[in-house]
Amino acid sequence: MRGTAALIFCACVQSHTVVKVKQIPQTIFFPRLGRNEKDCFQEKVTSDGWVELILGRLSGEAERSPTVRRRLVYALSCLLRGHSRSQQEFAKAGGFSRLAGLAAEAHSSGDAAMATKATVLLADLAAEEG
């Protein structure tokens, strides 16, 4: 269930604005979300603290399932790519060092898929910033 929720979140964040809002029952979760506002979903979830929430789930013992952890990195990737405010929140939360630590941990435990996902996200964020 946690993995499925992470995938739905990813689809919502990376899709077009109208698709983002249609995939989640708007009246239940985001009643004030504007359907035509650019980046409305990314703005909403950033304002609600999802960057820190996802980083927290990835840190330490909060989430041990490798599948869910990979999907959480994917969700973080979708939230951060092309969205400067989310990237600022990520940096403020120590996201670069936390994600680098996750990549190192995954590498040492033999989880090549997680190590690759985390490393590529770090490289992509550095390229966007530069």
Helix 66-80 vs helix 50-58: angle between axes, to the nearest 10 degrees? 150
Tell me the C-alpha distance between 33 and 9, whole Å. Answer: 15
> For each of the chain's 130 residues, which pLDDT tens digit applies?
455 565 566 555 554 444 344 444 443 344 444 444 445 678 888 888 889 989 988 886 767 788 888 888 988 998 898 888 999 999 999 999 999 999 999 999 999 999 999 999 999 999 987 6
Q: Is the pTM of this model over 0.85?
A: no
- Separation CA 82–CA 45 (nearest Å): 15
User: Which residue is it, tokens 């979140």?
Assistant: 9
